[in-house]
Structure 1
């Protein structure tokens, strides 16, 4: 079966795309999936993390990385589809052409949204891009505070927009960043932590969403 293509995009920078890509990739790899990563962001954050991982965690779950320019994405995906179970694409912010190509190629778009009005405002344009490209989108509420009404306010605003929201919420947890510093995913770094449970639940939900879409079709 051809690889599932998971695109992670958000037109606002700093939303946590690269962390989400790396954490999900490690989670799926630890579950026995063969995982390819594609970094088309000129900042190369995912590629840098992967290189650090290869140097400092040589016994970690295997992850392939393709570091390519956005215009080469289609050719690279054609090469990867038959070799991996999952391919995760990390996209650049504010790059309409490259992001659109990645969204078009994806079986699903994951759209991380932090608790800020800027993230909220940027979400609509990215979701509209997915709609135009006929790609299912799933908003991931990311770096949410442990208490207070902010999460409820964000959820209410997103629901008012009629946007699809993941049931799983990712908290504002140090373990996510700390694991990245070690070249790991949190499921390797602190496997019994709340952060590991959250990313594990999201990884399961993404695949369940894809299976539900397949049944509808």
Structure 2
């Protein structure tokens, strides 16, 4: 097996990287593959450890054997080695990276098959995304920009969406809405897919996971 590595990266803090990583991991784990269930691993490279805390709560909520995911931690250049090791027996590896750190994020971007970049629909967030995109360009890795916490009827969201589309990187057709359920589910060690299955937010996550899978197949 040679699993696909997806790195979630954004140098601006508060962009929703950890929430995106967790939701994408669960969404992918729920998509059956030929020959059996989908094996997904999470790799937390952020010293803050938010993804690890979420996973520990998940273990308490569901039980150690029922999380549906594997979990590891790494830092710096160790992320590349750990991700490649996990790829031997997992279909997908999702890496959560720290903000404001080229040194910590670069190995995770280098090893990735695809980098997901969450962007909140504000001018400041869009400006802050440029260093991340420059790093991705330097490593020659494919990426997908994801508008996060979008207000569907807000004029600013439409304006920023147009600005994102003008960048030299593809943007996901699916946008994740600004929904309380995302944060509430994370507090339980779960995702919106599990607390509100079939909801608009859950459908957004499923559609986004399908976009990631389609790009990885190319």
What TM bracket, shorter-length normalisation? over 0.9
Cα shift at 1:200? 0.1
Distance 2:79 2:188 in 1: 28
TM-score normalised by structure 2 residue count = 0.93
Matched, 1:56 2:61: yes
SS in 1 for 2:201: helix
Task: Figure out how many residues of one structure are paired with residues of the other and give that number.
Answer: 212
Match of 1:178 in 2: 184
SS in 1 for 2:135: helix
Matched, 1:14 2:14: yes
Match of 2:73 in 1: 67
Q: Deviations over 1:90-134 (max 9, x none)?
A: 000111011111111100000000022221011122112111111
> Quick one: which of 55, 79, 89 aligns to 1:83?
89
> Quick one: which of 161, 166, 169 aligns to 2:172?
166
SS in 1 for 2:77: helix
Structure 1 residue runs of 4 or more that deviate by more than 6 Å after TM superposition: none
Structure 1: 5+ residue stretches without partners: 213-217
Matched, 1:100 2:100: no
Cα shift at 1:168? 0.7
Match of 1:215 in 2: none
Matched, 1:153 2:159: yes
Cα shift at 1:53? 0.3
Match of 2:34 in 1: none
TM-score normalised by structure 1 residue count = 0.94
SS in 2 for 1:88: strand
Matched, 1:42 2:64: no
Distance 1:194 1:143 in 2: 13
SS in 1 for 2:107: helix
Q: Deviations over 1:12-51 (max 9, x none)?
A: 0000000000001111112231010000100000000000
Match of 2:197 in 1: 191
